[in-house]
Amino acid sequence: MKAITVQPKKPGSAAYEDVPEPDPGDGSLLVEAVATGVCGTDTEIVEGKYGWAPPGRDRLVLGHESLGRVVDPGPARAFKEGDLVVGIVRRPDPVPCPNCAVGEWDMCRNGEYTERGIKQIAGFMSDRWRVEPEYAIRLDPALGIRGVLLEPATVVAKAWEQVSIVGQRAFWEPQRVLVTGAGPIGLLAALLGRQRGLSVHVLDVVTAGPKPGLVEDLGATYHCGKIADVGFEPDVIVECTGVGQVIVDSFKHVAAGGVVCLTGIGSGGRTTGLPVADVGSKMVLQNNVVVGSVNANKRHWYKAAQDLLRADRAWLSRLISRREKPWNFEEALRRSPQDDVKVVIEFAEA
């Protein structure tokens, strides 16, 4: 079969190549790939900045945002041939740390977790893949190709759960949310904010392309420019850019008692005018919380699947802005900040 593979930490090493059939050790459920989403992490891996091959191997099958159709359910009674499924990304560390021991692998404390298509386990960008039945999520067939949005939706389902848990430390009735970045994570965070009945504002740098319309059609407000210019102090900021200046601005402008949830993974970058102690004092005097949030456990996968099912199907379809064939994976990795939202690699008809 064919797969998109990469030699982690070696820029430009990605290739669409012949690989052996999926390893039975990856799980008893055999799945035919339908689509995989492309995200910033995939780009980082291809650029040689992130990623780990399985032990004893040089190359890693890329892809952690999956959607596939069960070809052979094996002994698993809960699945049947033809079911649409998505594979969970992370596996608990083998020690295990206390969080992994209770199924909260997203909160792994020793860093020895593994991740499909990212860290030491084959990903989903192959014609066929295998998964353990307990790490497969069956989707309502009505979602079709939109099911490929489940993985990014789990990331924001966790982020929202973190925000509301933090909010419970005091009396708290949040009204206005600012989401920074109108990529797939930002738009899905905005969707979940609207599903919670909040007034949602989304900030990005582009003025054209599909993003402003997608925000407006959620019943949210699109802003272009700086956080300082949105005209209010948000109760919640879900930061989805990973850009240093935006992160600092979110600390500065979050409302008293407000929560900033960081989901973006960036690096370096210059920030201007960062008086650290002043920002710290503001956050102390206003009881602010900054919470980082990564990955998702099974609870979030379950919740995110429910959230996607409740969303407007036509709106979800518009998040998939481009479909590329696996042999054109390089095109899929080149994403336009204005015209692309979620680019998917399509292996088979949904």
**Does position 36 bind ligand BGC by CB under 6 A?**
no
In degrees rounded to 5, what are phi and psi of residue 249? -65, -35
d(CA 198, CA 191): 10
**Does position 107 bind ligand BGC by CB under 6 A?**
no
**Contact predicate 218/191, CB 8 Å:** yes
* Residue whose CB is less far from ligand BGC, 240 or 248: 240
- For ligand BGC, the binding residues in 249-278 under the rule CB under 6 A are none
Q: Which of 5, 7, 36, 41 binds ligand BGC (CB under 6 A)?
A: 41
**Does position 295 bind ligand BGC by CB under 6 A?**
yes
- Reference 211, options 72, 63, 338; nearest CA is 338
Q: Which of 3, 33, 35, 39 binds ligand BGC (CB under 6 A)?
A: 39
**Contact predicate 178/204, CB 8 Å:** no
**Contact predicate 306/138, CB 8 Å:** no
Q: At its nearest, how many Å lie between ligand BGC and the CB of residue 264?
A: 10
- For ligand BGC, the binding residues in 51-90 under the rule CB under 6 A are 64, 89-90
**Does position 294 bind ligand BGC by CB under 6 A?**
yes
* Residue whose CB is less far from ligand BGC, 247 or 255: 247
Q: At its nearest, how many Å lie between ligand BGC and the CB of residue 60?
A: 12
* Residue whose CB is less far from ligand BGC, 76 or 294: 294
Provide the mask over 125-164, with x wherever binding to ligand BGC is found by CB under 6 A and - wherever it is not.
Answer: --------------------------x---x---------
Q: How many CB atoms lie within 10 A of CB 325?
A: 12
Q: How many CB atoms lie within 10 A of CB 311?
A: 21
* Residue whose CB is less far from ligand BGC, 238 or 254: 238
In degrees rounded to 5, what are phi and psi of residue 201? -125, 140
**Contact predicate 188/212, CB 8 Å:** no
Answer positive or negative: Cα dihedral of 289, 106, 114, 150: negative
* Residue whose CB is less far from ligand BGC, 186 or 258: 186
- Reference 215, options 245, 244, 172, 183; nearest CA is 183
Q: At its nearest, how many Å lie between ligand BGC and the CB of residue 126?
A: 18
Q: Which of 26, 38, 88, 115 binds ligand BGC (CB under 6 A)?
A: 115
**Does position 293 bind ligand BGC by CB under 6 A?**
no
Q: Which strands, in side-by-side order, build the sheet including 120-121?
A: 90-91, 114-116, 120-121
Residue 322 Cα to chain centre, angstroms: 17
Residues in the interface with ligand BGC (CB under 6 A) total 11
DSSP code at position 20: P
d(CA 212, CA 210): 6
* Residue whose CB is less far from ligand BGC, 64 or 303: 64
Q: At its nearest, how many Å lie between ligand BGC and the CB of residue 64?
A: 6
Which residues here bind ligand BGC, judged by CB under 6 A?
39, 41, 64, 89-90, 115, 118, 151, 155, 294-295
